[in-house]
Amino acid sequence: MRLQTAKPDSIVAEIAARQHGVITYAQLLWAGLTQSGIQRRVAAGRLHWIYRGVYAVGHDGLSREGRWKAATLACGPGAALSHRSAAELWRMLEPSDGPSHVTVRARGGRSHREGIRLHRSRSLTRRMITSESNIPVTRPPRTLEDLKRDVSAGELRRALRQAEFLNLPIHRVAIVDDRTGNELELALLRLCRRHRLPEPESNVRIGPFEVDFLWRQQRLVVETDGWGAHRGSVAFELDHRRDAYLISHGYFVLRFTRRQVLEEPTEVAALIRDRLAP
């Protein structure tokens, strides 16, 4: 409970500080402001309208977290950041421009808002929602499931790999068709984490080719070769053409088989570490 002697503006500032610079109309009233007092502060530039019933305090230059928090507040109780926005909050994907994705229960939430992509879901339960940086957000497994319908296959693979590297609790989310190749790539990510190797970029385009893993500063490329995806003369030719292109552009290429990654992780880690050394 707030102190009876506290001034409304001090209470407003305290609430906004916990919410990435935003506050709701109901919270402004709770802090002790009247409707006319709110209007005066809006006119004076001390409050900035973001969504109906949601304001930024002091200035409207919100951080990404501030926009996400404002979006969830605008969509009402039970709303949670989801889909790509949730993946960015969990650091599965790089930040991008675009609307904030928010999911509400099938019959809950308010109408569409500019700057918010609203999703309605009958399957969303309270257990699938948590709080990260004081923002309600879908848990990592649900986030990945939502991404299946919202991003490209390449971004989906990157999100899963990053979730594995960050050791997020994703359990055994099955999100891709190429289970064998994908599991092999995830195994190499776990290997990097276990042996304290620097985090690589994944599914990166270099010229006309996409590589599995890249340490950009050291110009090191690592490819994980499952038999199913690399057997046959066409794949053989493509692999060699890719390697020739990368080498000619100053990259060093390491290729590891499924057996090496799964059965000889210490040796694989040592080879990668040697190439990453100054």
Q: Is the pLDDT of residue 234 over 80?
A: no
Is 272 within the bounds of a domain? yes
Q: Which domain holds residue 98?
A: 76-150
For residues 205 and 264, state if they share a domain.
yes
For residues 49 and 86, state if they share a domain.
no
Q: So what's the pLDDT on residue 229? A: 41
Q: So what's the pLDDT on residue 228? A: 42
Residue with tokens 């999911």: 103
Q: So what's the pLDDT on residue 232? A: 36
36 compared with 208, residue with greater pLDDT: 36
Q: So what's the pLDDT on residue 175? A: 47
87 compared with 96, residue with greater pLDDT: 87
Give per-residue pLDDT as tens, 187-204: 888 899 899 999 888 888
- Count of all residues that appear for the chain in the document: 278
For residues 266 and 182, state if they share a domain.
yes
Which string of b and e fits 31-70 if b means at least 16 CB within 10 Å? bbbeeebbeebeeeeebbebbebbbbbeeeebeebbbbbb
Nearest CA among 73, 81, 125 for reference residue 103: 81
For residues 30 and 81, state if they share a domain.
no
Give per-residue pLDDT as tens, 157-180: 788 878 877 888 876 554 444 443
Q: So what's the pLDDT on residue 122? A: 83
Which tokens in the block code for residue 17? 């500080």
User: Among 1-5, 105-109, 191-195, whose mean pLDDT is lowest?
Assistant: 1-5
